[in-house]
Copies of this chain bind each other. A is one copy, B any other.
Amino acid sequence: MSLTIAVDLGGTHIRTASYNSESITPVAHYRARTNAHEPGVFDRLVQAIETVWHPDVTSMGVASPGPLDPYTGTILATPNIPEWKNFPLAQKLSARFGVPVHLDNDANMAGFGEWTFGAGKGHHNLIYLTISTGVGGGVICNDTLLQGFHGLATELGHMIIDPNGPPCGCGKNGHVESFSSGTAIARHTVAQIQTGQKTSLQLDGGTLTAKQIAEAALAGDSLAISAFARAGYYLGIAVANYLAIFDPSIVIFGGGVSQVGDLLFKPFQESLHKHTFHPHYLDDLVITKAALGDDAGLLGALAWARHKRNNEMMRVA
């Protein structure tokens, strides 16, 4: 018997689970707080893996925030875990546990998970987009995860769609993320309130969350509705670009902000149809929600570790 361990390392929680050969139901699973801004993240991670450890584990997959180098398994830097700079995570875990460790960023792993086990099964060209505090992407082309030369491919949220657009969390301007992420929706709404726009929303210490704005929008607040409409409009431009670039057969939306439904997706659909280069791209195109929910990263890491192990066994055979 051979087991695989999957790790989903998030800014808030570390999740670990062990799985038998072909199953996606864990033998054991565990969840702990990351406490990402306190020292000792690696030790907490090791402890979370030990909790689900089994002597028959033969490989491990890890979904982590990026940017990272999946070929060497190194976290270059991640705003979520400030103590890690050029941190050789896969190498350190592999040395500690004695099994190969395969690492890629959380959006790539979630996309790979949806393709292997979720909404994208059977598709050959897939785009996964997560809309949450940021906007991330994972892409399958010709049945292969697109990683790129440095392993930095498909940073879909950092595509410029208006060079004079608002600032992004990364410091550049006019990215998809700076229009359509939860952070962007909140910042735009706060700015509108500060210019005196009428709304039912109360500025709590100068800030708002996308969740509060979604609630106000569902209750009929027109400023809140327009904030989601704006995010959806730019998301339509972004996806029109991804269609012209990748020509996928499916676009899968994950992430918390994508749960708001029509508030975002009605203006998105209108904008997508308006901006798509040629209507032929939309023929038989599936646009759908992620099927794996919060497990996408974990199951993606599982699928990735199995995939790498199978490739390795084919290479050796």
A152 touches B67 (CB 8 A): no
A160 is contacted by which of B124, B146, B161, B170 (Cβ under 8 Å)?
Answer: B161
A125 is contacted by which of B148, B163, B170 (Cβ under 8 Å)?
Answer: B148
A241 CB–B CB distance under 8 Å: yes
CB A287 to nearest CB in B, in angstroms, measures: 13
Name A residues whose Cβ lies closer than 8 Å to a Cβ of B: 67, 76, 124-125, 141-142, 144, 146-156, 158-164, 170, 172, 175, 237, 240-241, 244-249, 275, 277-278, 280-281, 283-285
Tell me how many chains of this kind the complex includes. 2
Residues of chain B contacted by A278 (CB below 8 angstroms): 67, 152, 155, 170
Residues of chain B contacted by A67 (CB below 8 angstroms): 278, 280
Residues of chain B contacted by A170 (CB below 8 angstroms): 277-278
Residues of chain B contacted by A163 (CB below 8 angstroms): 161-162, 237, 275
CB A29 to nearest CB in B, in angstroms, measures: 32
Nearest 9 CB-CB pairs, A to B? A148-B247, A153-B247, A149-B249, A155-B244, A158-B277, A152-B247, A159-B241, A158-B244, A125-B149
A277 touches B155 (CB 8 A): yes
- CA of A80 to CA of B118 in the docked complex: distance in angstroms? 43
A245 touches B245 (CB 8 A): yes
CB A174 to nearest CB in B, in angstroms, measures: 8
- CA of A149 to CA of B158 in the docked complex: distance in angstroms? 24
Residues of chain B contacted by A146 (CB below 8 angstroms): 141-142, 246
B283 touches A150 (CB 8 A): yes
CB A303 to nearest CB in B, in angstroms, measures: 17
